[in-house]
Amino acid sequence: MKHGPQRIVMMEGISSGEHFLVGGEIPRRVLDDITLSIRKAEAWGINGTSLFEIRLLLEIMANIRPYDRGKCALIERGMMRRKRVILRHVFYIGSSEMLYNNMNVLEFLMFATAKFKIDKVVLQEQIFELIITIGLGHLSLTPNHMLTREEKAVITLIAAAYSDSLMIVFNLPEYVWDEVLIDAIAQITSFIRERGKTLIIATQNCLLIEKACSHTAILQDGQLIFNGTVEDFRLNFDKVEVIIRDKAVHAVREKLALLFPAYKLVSKDDSLMISSIGSETIDHGAIYKKILESGFTPDSIEINPKTVENAYKELMRQHDL
C-alpha cells in the first residue's frame, strides 16, 4: 500500500507582502493571518469578494508569490518564503495560453502525456473517451486556436489530471463558466481525486463549487471567514427550508407569517421562502401540514435543496457585505 504525503497545503498565519492602499485609510494587507489545511484527494473551491485576494492566495499556495509572515508547507515540504519557483509536484494553471495553437485538443493532450511509458494507442483511446464522457466530445478534435479561454483552461485541467503532480492549482477566478464546462470540471475533479491528487480552484462561481468541490474557503477583506466542507457550508448557512410557489403567494404572506412566528418569510417573484432563524432541527412535514391546514393550496411546495449560492449570500449578509 502506498503512503504518500497526506497534507498537501499547510498554511499557518500567512500574511501577504502586498497591501491595499485606499486614500485616507491605513493600508491593509491583501491577505492577513490565513490558516488553512488542505489534505490529499480533496477539491477546494476558494471564493471571496475580491478576485485579487483569491488569485494571490493561490499564487502563494503554488509558491510563485512570496509571503511576508507565517508558515507554509506544500506536500509536507517547507517552502522558502522568498522563493518564486513552481515546484515539480505542483501543476499551476494561471493562464489559458498553455495550449499550442497548431494542435487540436486530442493532439495536445497526447503531447502533454507523451512521457508516460504506457501504450500510446491505449492512452489515446482513454483520453479521447474521457473527453467525450465529460461532455466535451464536441471539442475533442477542435483546433486549439478556436477554443474560448474557458475551454482552453478546461483542456489544460485534463492535462493536469494526467500529470504526475500531486497538487493542481486552477487559478482563473475571473473566468466565466457555463453549465457544460462546470459539469466537465466536476467530472475531471472526480477523476483527479480518484488518482489521489488535490485540486484547488479559484472561482466566484457558486455552482462550480457546489458541483466540483468537496471543500470551500471564503475570503473577505483579506481573511478567511469560512473554511470547511461544502456540505457543512450549505447546511449551516443556507437557512431557507421550504419554498412555496404560487401566483397568489404575496396575498397569503401575512397569514403564513402568523402561522410561522419562529421562521423568517421572504417573498421573491412568485415564490415565498421560509427560512429558519435558529439552529434547531426543522420538521419539514410539520410546515407542509400547517400550510395545508391554513386552507391555502399553493402550486408547489418544495424542500430547499440547500445551495452554495444561498449559503454564500447568507454568509455575506451576516458579514454586512
Partner 1 sequence: MTETKYTTQEQIEAMRQEIQREKEKMAGISSGKEPSGGLLPQRRQAMKTVGGAIFLALCLLIVWSIISIQMTKSRGEIPNILGFQLFAIESGSMEPTLKIGAVIVSRKPKNPENLKINDIVTFKTLSNAIVTHRIIEVVVNDDGSESYRTKGDNPGNSADQELLTSNRVIGVFVAKIPLT
Binding site for partner 1 (CB under 8 A): 106, 119, 121-122, 124-125, 128, 132, 137-143, 146-147
d(CA 276, CA 222): 30
Least distance CB 142 / partner 1 (angstroms): 5
150 vs 314 by CB, closer to partner 1 = 150
Q: Of the two residues 122 and 258, which places its CB atom closer to partner 1 in the complex?
A: 122
Q: How far is the CB of 122 from partner 1 (least distance, A)?
A: 7
Minimum gap (Å) between residue 89 Cβ and partner 1:
32
**Distance in Å, CB of 125 to partner 1, minimum:** 5
Query: In this structure, are strands 77-78 and 67-74 parallel, antiparallel, or unpaired?
Result: antiparallel
The span from the CA of 229 to the CA of 308, in Å, is: 11
User: Around 263, how many Cα atoms within 13 Å sit in the side-chain half-sphere?
Assistant: 28
Contact 263/241 with Cβ under 8 angstroms? yes
For residues 1 and 121, which CB has a smaller minimum distance to partner 1 in the complex? 121
CB of 137 to partner 1, least distance (A): 6
Please give the biggest Cα pair distance in the chain: 70
The full 3-state SS of 225-271, as one line of letters, equals EEEEEHHHHHHHHCCEEEEEECCCCCCCHHHHHHHCCCEEEEEECCE
- In whole angstroms, how close is the CB of 163 to partner 1 at the nearest point? 22
Cβ neighbours of 319 (radius 10 Å): 13
Q: How far apart are CA 14 and CA 16, in angstroms?
A: 7
